[in-house]
Amino acid sequence: MGGSMEAIGLAVIGGTGVYRLAELDDVQAVEADTPYGRPSGPLRIGRLGSHRVAFLARHGEGHSLPPHRVNYRANLWALHAAGARRVLAVNTVGGITDAFGPRVLACPDQLIDYTWGRASSFWDQEGGEVLHVDFGDPYTPPLRTAVLEAAARAGVAVVDGGCYGATQGPRLETKAEIARMRRDGCDLVGMTGMPEAGLARELGLDYACLAVVANWAAGCGDAAEITLAEVLANVDAAGAGLPALLRALLEG
């Protein structure tokens, strides 16, 4: 049987600063099309050790798509159609509460959706099926457990839990907005967590988030302003553990 017939063990959606998985071998670029349009870029399907892994850069490989313009439906649909059943979403975020400072990796267990106007369901045709998927636990608990156990085996520190607040962007938040999010119970803030997680649930995909803290959210640290240079340097540093974590997750 050809390699392309093997199941995909894991799909990784890379966020800001994670545009490739350099560790993948025998990579094929798959230009997918879906009933919802084209994904952000090619699916890069390759091998990590003895496992097939699909990688997709959420913002496009040249980072040309802002968070509110990402075709989340096409991305999830394409990964599902390629045979992926488990998705690890890597999301660059700001940290709000004490345990989530810059360079922390976290695997949140809750989210609050503050986004608006995004195509957030596969079932949005009038006259079509109306579906209300259970979303009480937005991240698949067994996949979260697997991620945390893999991180422990790989010696990569990952904070267990936290609430991800998904904002619309592309601008960063005001201090008052972050103060409100803190009162709401958010630990992390990012612009890409939704509708991605909800769409994954609609497709029955296992889905977990690995949040990479790039900066203190507005008003939370000492920095006068948040710069892209700071964000990218912190994502690079925190992302160093990612390959080992993925390997452990695939082998686990």
- Find the binding residues for ligand HPA in span 164-223 (CB under 6 A): 167, 172-173, 189-191, 214-215, 217
First to last CA, the chain: 24
Which residues make Cβ contacts (< 8 Å) with residue 147, sequence separation at least 6?
Answer: 88, 107, 158, 208, 210, 245, 249
> Does 145 belong to an annotated binding site?
no
The CA distance from 34 to 43, in Å, is 13
Residue in 108, 102, 39 with CA at minimum distance from that of residue 70: 39
**Smallest distance, Å, CB 167 to ligand HPA?**
6
* DSSP helix/strand/coil, 192: coil
Does residue 191 have a known ligand-binding role? yes
Q: Is the dihedral of CA 57, 58, 59, 60 positive or negative?
A: positive
Give the x/- contact pattern for ligand HPA in 231-250, rule: CB under 6 A: x-------------------
Closest CB to ligand HPA among 77 and 164? 164
Residue 16 among known ligand-binding residues: yes
**At closest approach, how far in Å is the CB of 141 from ligand HPA?**
25
Using CA atoms, how far apart are residues 220 and 196, in angstroms rounded to an integer?
Answer: 26
| Residue number with CB closer to ligand HPA (76 or 191) | 191
State yes or no: 59 annotated in a binding site: yes
Cβ closest to ligand HPA, residue 8 vs residue 166: 166
**Least distance between ligand HPA and beta carbon 92 (Å):** 5
By beta-carbon proximity to ligand HPA, the closer residue of 172 and 244 is: 172
The site that binds ligand HPA (CB under 6 A) totals a number of residues, namely: 14
Least Cβ distance, residue 218 to ligand HPA (angstroms)? 6
Which position's Cβ is nearest ligand HPA? Answer: 94
115 known member of a binding site: no
Q: Is the CB of 4 or the CB of 64 nearer to ligand HPA?
A: 64
CA gap 74, 54 in Å, rounded: 15
Q: What is the DSSP string of 122-179?
A: S---TTS-------SSSS-HHHHHHHHHHHHHHT---EE--EEEE---SSPPPHHHHH
User: Would the annotation count 217 as a binding residue?
Assistant: yes
Which positions from 80 through 109 interact with ligand HPA, judged by CB under 6 A?
92-94
86 is in an annotated binding site: no
| Separation CA 78–CA 80 (nearest Å) | 5
75 Rama class: left (phi>0) / alpha (psi -120 to 50) / beta: alpha
Residue ranges of the annotated binding site are 16, 58-59, 191-192, 215-217
Binding residues for ligand HPA, per CB under 6 A? 92-94, 167, 172-173, 189-191, 214-215, 217, 226, 231
Residue ranges of the annotated binding site for substrate are 191, 215-217
